[in-house]
Amino acid sequence: MRVGVPSEIKPGEHRVGLTPTAVREYVAHGHQVLVQQGAGLGAGYADEAYVKAGASIAPDADAVFAGAEMIVKVKEPQKIEWERLTQRHILFTYLHLAPDPAQTEGLLASGCAAIAYETVTDAKGGLPLLAPMSEVAGRIAVFSAAETLLKHNGGMGLLLCGVPGVPPARVAVLGGGVVGSNAARMAAGLGAEVVVLERSIPRMRELDDLYQGRILTRYSTLDAVEEEILKADVVIGAVLTAGAAAPKLVRREHLSRMKPGSVLVDVSIDQGGCFETSHPTTHAEPTYTVDGVVHYCVANMPGAAPRTSSEALGNATLPFGLALADKGLDALEDNVHLARGLNVLGGKLTHPAVAQALVKDFVDPFGVWGGSKL
């Protein structure tokens, strides 16, 4: 198969869909890889490294999309990109369609097969292609919160870790999944006081056993969330419903009662955000303030560490990408977990949570959601 790797064009995005190491694996499987000139520079990969791995270098994105059957990216396609897609393309990338009807309509109109990293599953019910970026985002969220708490960045002027005789910041983490557990780990490691709000009792037991009380856990109810966000200096939103829009856990009316200069970090922003007042921001302009509370809502937090992120993402996506390149859409017949990554096929929505969020019809072409095949 001809596999294309275009440069990422979303503002502040420097990751790349395939590293040279991954390209070598595709080439070893007999595939042709076409990489856009300069696509890997932001992550530290020169064109020469791709050529050495066996790729060809294309002068621009038009050449990549025209020459490839399968497009491997990182972030969701922008308008100019989805307009390049056709029925012959398989798109393999993050999509986050639930809060993005414009992109959804663009992909439906293209007729392509679009497989979303964030809805590929595993045998344990996890999301293996979302996990590595969730790990990065959870850790970056704490660094970003600590920086934002400083006075010159609009925060209350609090040092996250405190000093002897002065207490540290209190960090409330909403959600104890991959993002939340990594955020909690990082915040506790820096010396903050941390509480994780979670609805899975087994997950809370795991955190309690792992951290021996260093991280507090609390069952997430409306009362608990309200109490903890009012006590917190930092709130990290880390909730996820696979494929669906994130639930709004912090409402506008809460902000005026929170500490002035406190910080909200919305890691769920790709799925619409879990704070009512969230809207996407960029690394160039990462924050804004509502009712005295600073919001950090960068939609591609892992893009700040493109080398680490590209390698971690590549490690996770490689087996699935190779299966698609080897077998095309027949790979979805063989692997129910990869098939659940399919969000769009032939102008139809093929993931139930996405369809529900966008109030559209849903089809189950591979019979992986309990429905009949097309």
300 labeled binding residue? yes
pLDDT for the residue 270: 84
220 labeled binding residue? yes
Same fold, 2-126+305-358 and 130-296: yes
% of the chain residues with pLDDT over 90:
93
Domain ranges of the chain: 2-126+305-358, 130-296
Catalytic residue among 14, 96, 254, 337: 96
201 labeled binding residue? no
Domain 2-126+305-358 class in CATH? alpha beta
Give pLDDT tens digits for 84-129.
999 999 999 999 999 899 999 999 999 999 999 999 999 988 999 9
d(Cα 92, Cα 129) in Å, to the nearest integer?
11
Pinpoint the alpha helices (H) of 71-219: 79-82, 101-110, 131-148, 178-189, 201-211
269 labeled binding residue? yes
371 pLDDT more than 70: no
Sign of CA dihedral 337, 74, 65, 11: positive
359 labeled binding residue? no
144 labeled binding residue? no
> Has this prediction a pTM greater than 0.95?
no
- Nearest 5°: the CA angle 287, 289, 295 is 50
How confident is the model over 43-69, as a mean pLDDT? 98
Catalytic residue among 31, 270, 337, 351: 270
C-alpha distances (whole Å) from 316 to each of 73, 176, 357 are 14, 21, 27
- The answer to whether 270 is a known catalytic residue is yes
Helix (H, G, I), strand (E, B) or coil at 250: strand
Superfamily for the 130-296 domain: NAD(P)-binding Rossmann-like Domain (3.40.50.720)
